[in-house]
Structure 1
Amino acid sequence: MSVNTPRSLGDFLKSRRTRLDPASFGFSGRRRTPGLRREEVAQRAHISPTWYTWLEQGRGGAPSAEVLERISGALMLTDAEREHLFMLGLGRPPEVRYRSADRVNPRMQRLLDSLDASPAIIKTPTWDVVAWNRAAAVVLTDYGALPPDQRNILQFLFRDPTVRAKQHDWESVARFVVGAFRADVARAGLVSEAGELVDELCRISPEFEVLWRDNDVHSHEDGDGVKRLTHPELGVIELEYSAFSVDGRPDLGMIVYTPLDREVAQRIRELAANASTPAAFDEHVSS
């Protein structure tokens, strides 16, 4: 028997409802059972009390995403609980909630730092880099030497001649990045928010404008999964890249570039170990 049944949804709703303190929401009166009443949850969610009762009783059919969002807010669900609610109610996770970020938690930064030979970054859906390791600083871009509002990968690619010169096949890289950016901002519901960046890049780069108007969409599964760079100290190198979602932050993505050559990996370790660390990077990793 499937664990995702209408009754499972009702049981979950009831368990969250009974854990809430009525006084915290301005509800008073003597109660025979703990938590909010069904009609109080319905009131907070702006839905019919009868409809909410049916949901807890496993009746009434599948709720809409809008109804689940209202119930999630009414029950003060955490992100994990909200996702579970959608899985029970609709069989799919909810849309990603975008939260602005300028850094990650220390645990995630320690994970990045443990990859001493593999450049690794964490980026937002609009491709702003919010975390990186020393290997990324010496191989990709020294993000710590830049102000936070200037750490956007698309701006690097279309505005910085040094970054452009590193790319083995700039045209292919640019086409992929623009297509992946388009997919990421749509998935995060940030198409309008990304408009200012898109308009700026269209003004300064005819090449970006052409690629943007092509409406191509890409994911990190496209292509051969290998990034080729011409590095001023390492020469021509090949890095196998993999993309991961960040646990608890589905709006953030981690990209790890793994050297295909052991000698190159060792040289990256040495460069990272010997590199001077800008003050901005020190502040970043200690936060």
Structure 2
Amino acid sequence: MWEKADGERLRELAQFLRTRRARMTPEQAGLPTEGRRRTPGLRRSEVALLAGISVDWYTWLEQGRNIQVSSQVLESIARALQLDADEKKHLFLLALQQYPPVSGEAAAEITPALQRFLDLQGTSPAYVTDQRLNIVGWNRIASIIYGEYETMPARERNSVWRTFTSPDVRGLLQERWEAHARHRLAQFRANYAKFAGDPWWTDLIGELNRASEEFRAWWPRHDVLNGPEGKKIIHHPAAGRLEFEQVSFVTSDDPGLTVTINVPTADGDTVAKLGKLLRE
């Protein structure tokens, strides 16, 4: 069974490389043209030359042979074939190699459609986080419940920083603060694997170590976790006890953005309390 699956993966890898090679022209690759060609695209020898690897090695990949290929070789092939980010990731997955760490992170943009989606959630606090766990989008009720994101400095909108340093967050969560903080930290640790060594991350980790005793104690545990928290209870100073079920998903337009919606439970008066807050 595993041999069959592995054979299918290797065939997929071979076909993917052939199609990417076929779409490239010598002009696009910066190579001289040598008259009329019998088939479109680059020759295998030209891809090997551009990637700095042997022709035999590249040929074996296109033949679907079961050979071990390093991430450095895959990087060179991706550059030679001018693969975009999605294609490069696909190449690494087919070759069973860890995708290289991302250097930095582009600023997240909330599209008008996504903002309308957040606004349409009404009494369900909804927000968007990037891979750094910054809050980069929210609806009005989220801002009312969790704090005025509109006026917060950028650092305060980082949910890990705010969880470990804000007395307001501890007040909202009370006895459930530790469970929430450990969950958020485990999410942060899981995302950090993609950015290990990036200055933004190392700076924040250093500041959190200095600012929070709990962070200093828990960060070395290397707990990792993804996914929503499930049931969430908030103690709001004006509305009182609020109960939610959490739904979370990654957006299709930008896999680096996660939408979280706290849906009021059906067996309580949370909806009525939130409606009153929105009317005030």
Q: TM-score, normalised by structure 1?
A: 0.80
Match of residue 117, structure 1, among 123, 138, 141 = 123
Matched, 1:129 2:132: no
Contact 1:109 1:132 in 2 (8 A): yes
Question: What corresponds to 1:16 in structure 2?
Answer: 20
Paired residues of 1:112 and 1:120 also in contact (CA < 8 A):
yes
Q: CA deviation at 1:237?
A: 0.9
List aligned pairs for 1:220-239, cutoff 5 A. Answer: 220=227, 225-239=230-244
Work out the CA distance in 2 between the residues paired with 1:120 and 1:95: 32
> How much has 1:255 moved relative to structure 2?
2.1
Q: Which residue of 2 aligns with 1:245?
A: 250
Instruction: Judge conservation of contact 2:246–2:263 (CA < 8 Å) in 1.
Output: yes
Counterparts of 1:165 and 1:172 in 2: how far apart (Å)?
Answer: 14
Alpha carbons of 1:147 and 1:45: their partners in 2 closer, same or farther (altered >3 Å)?
Answer: farther
**CA RMSD of the aligned region, Å?**
2.8
Query: Is 1:6 the equivalent of 2:13?
Result: no
Distance in 2 separating the partners of 1:208 and 1:53: 51
SS at structure 2 position matched to 1:6 = helix
Query: Contact conserved, 2:242 with 2:270, CA < 8 A, in 1?
Result: yes
Cα separation, 1, equivalents of 2:76 and 2:141 = 44
Is the 1:158–1:208 Cα contact (8 Å) retained in structure 2? yes
Residues 135 and 93 of structure 1: CA distance in aligned 2, closer, same or farther (over 3 Å): farther
Query: Secondary structure of the equivalent of 2:255?
Result: strand
Question: What is the aligned partner in structure 1 of residue 212 from structure 2?
Answer: 205
Residue type of the alignment partner of 1:9: L
The 2-side partners of 1:73 and 1:266 are apart by 56
Alpha-carbon separation, structure 1, partners of 2:253 and 2:71: 20
Output one character per residue of 1:42-95: Cα deviation in whole Å (capped at 9) or x when no partner: 2333322221122112235253344333322322223332333334332x8846
CA distance in 1, matches of 2:24, 2:262: 45
**Corresponding residue of 2:76:** 70
Structure 1: gaps spanning 5 or more residues: 276-287
Alignment check: 8 A CA contact 2:50 2:80 kept:
yes
Percent sequence identity over matched residues?
Answer: 36
Deviation at 1:165? 0.8
Note if contact 1:96-1:251 (Cα within 8 Å) is conserved in structure 2.
Answer: no
**For the structure 1 residues 215 and 15, does the alpha-carbon distance in structure 2 shift closer, same or farther, using more than 3 Å as the test?**
closer
Return closer, same or farther for 1:39/1:143 CA change in 2, 3 Å cut-off. Answer: farther
Equivalents in 2 of 1:233, 1:182: separation in Å?
34
TM-score (norm 2): 0.82
C-alpha separation between the residues in 2 aligned to 1:117 and 1:197?
A: 33
Partner residue, 2:61: 55
Check the 8 A contact 2:163/2:181 in 1, yes or no: yes
For 1:28 and 1:106, how far apart are their aligned partners in 2? 46
Q: Of the two structures, which has the highest relative contact order with CA contacts closer than 8 Å and spacing of 6 or more?
A: 1
Q: Distance in 2 between matches of 1:54 and 1:238?
A: 58
The 2-side partners of 1:67 and 1:58 are apart by 16
Question: Which residue of 1 is the match for residue 185 of structure 2?
Answer: 178
Name the count of aligned residue pairs: 270
**Matched residues in 1 for 2:262 and 2:167: separation?**
22
- Aligned CA distance change for structure 1 residues 53 and 196 (closer, same or farther; 3 Å): same
* Alpha-carbon shift at residue 158 of structure 1 (Å): 2.3
Q: Residues 20-169 of structure 1: matches in 2 within 5 Å? A: 20-29=24-33, 30-32=35-37, 33-59=39-65, 61-90=67-96, 94=99, 97=102, 99-168=105-174, 169=176
